[in-house]
Structure 1
């Protein structure tokens, strides 16, 4: 992948300088032409609406960055009804609504064209043909939709064929006629049931592979640089774990994937050194009670190894920020093939934080004082693995069922309906060495036996790693929390290196200094409710659960006034609200990603990792952040960003 970089930059520069009028040759030219001259059948209300089964409608979508004329085009059924001579224009990345018989089919959405002719409720085939008669898109069955609830059949990904059954889902967003999104983005891009696309993966030294578990808009790809999307991230982790021959260092905020647990057990039994840093959840928090219990059951299996006996050679080794105690419920233990007796672990009477706690301790925590441990209130929020001192596997993805699949039922069917995530894996012994240093600062030793009297988590860590190295042709920066001021480096990056644009997807953002620097780029002022647009481009998405929180950066960026303020939290409104939105995903928008100067000649850079841009993320929790200076990698993140952004109602030029 690194060998492509110079030629990619030259082609991109020519394309930008000519305003898109001169296309590169070959396959890129063909793909670009197809993207700007095609449309897809995007949503079909073959069942009608709650008002009448006759109120059928069809939506077309233009996914390209240029307007599309439909004059001379035809949308027709194989049986001849309907047969619609199309006319009009579909704006770039917009929608074209066809309503049957009259514009009253959907009273609050204006039709772009009225047609006649009914759709069958089964065995229907639709063709979308251009002015030359060529079939541009085809739907050969009703793969989704619900006649009872009047939920439409909605396309998942415009880059996949309409004849692929898994590229369709039943709409879940309500509207006046049932469930659907007439003349708006389908609420299905996060369903993850589209086909996996793995086109840019390398095993070479210096490789940087990026994976997204949701869709990506590959029409924005640089030549030969299509993003890897709809990727089963568990499979990618398992590939690395199963290839390990000497060591696995895994730092995990949460873990409950059975296949990953089995892989770690198998590797430990094969003699691979398996060391695991795990976060001890606050078991009194109702959000974590059941999940933390499941996690402890799985971790006990790892501590016992395949023979089920503590202290033998097939065991994995685990340390946590705060101690963990066994789950004593006999029914639950039996369900995870754990022995009924757990007295082979010591029964301890200790203080955890300020709480006296008694239990059978199977994972030690960071030592505070005699029989005293730190509370689990500060999160060991990392999600990274170091394999054989060669590969680093990191990103925003927690190794959980909900994080990737959404539910156990989905997991059993291979449906990726979890949170929106990314993973970056890097083949670099130098980077692996830096991550190992961070790991062992928390682990407390360089052996398989942790030393909890030496280990340091959270604010007790120090800045003890390099922050920049060259991987292939790329500069990669590395920051850990707490102690390295990762968000401070982001703030400096925006202030001193962002020249043309900044795009972001963020789970939680409250850091005021970072907001202020972006405000100054956007409207040339740090002052509350003052500024004039500079031409710098800002676009972004926030997880909806934090969209209206008083501390969220979204409040300021949209020109609203926070209901309260505190140190380094929102207090400066933007005079010119930015086009930022609450994400429209089926579950959480879990990324912590910022793109700087994407698709420009001004050092395109992407910030990735586990760090939320907040006081806790920067100064309290254990986190990791990568800043990758690379045009191709940044472009891959741009493809995924554009898919999320359009899905939320944003417009991409």
Structure 2
């Protein structure tokens, strides 16, 4: 017998930080400065407080005089100067030095990043492009809502900056670091909300020789209804999914403008559920895979930042019937 629990939660941030965490990968050799972190959405204080961090993976200091960091559409267009130390960072803050409190910027620049994506070029003093982040069709990571803004962080400095899977969410408010080694750290504010804690529990019937995989159970019907009622976002972490009603509901939600994101399992993506994973990505739903059995044993779906669906049931024919 399997069960799923649907819980209404007033606080979302701790859940998202667990579900969408992706481990850092080991870096290969890199011979030039790269763009390492981007707060394209601003900070929790203001969406205008954008910042960009550069990283020098080499063993020598690099003079950035005459270098240029610019977007293909012309904004921003930043002339660099100063020195970035070996294995060190360089911080660019938009508009003023108040963007990141108590952290002096290496460069103050003007011009906002487009929230729908940019194609960024980092060029040296000879005009040669040493790094490119082609996110013209949408930023590969980072998170922006009315209550939270989380920067995107490069996973592998030696990897292609235009590959979406080389970016992840930067913890909390990011780790903007200056050439002097000063790093800003923040403590998230948790607000206690006085409201009832509501939950519903669903059990599937025992499997028998006559059990059919075509008749929806109460659990399946409620799951589809929850997806159909989503207003803004659906974030999922699970192992297996092949139930057609769930696939159709997720694709329909994506098509009507709901932000649908999925973290799946490496083994499932390569074997039993490969076809379903491909169907979802072909429909335009962002899906990344991770090898984390401790996360994927239980299945999670967060809807609109306030409803949590969790339990031991995969969204599959055998799991939901």
Instruction: From the CA coordinates, give the structure whose radius of gyration is larger.
Output: 1
TM interval, shorter chain, is 0.3 to 0.5
More strand as a share of residues? 2
Pick 1 or 2: higher relative contact order, CA cutoff 8 A, min separation 6.
2
More helix as a share of residues? 1
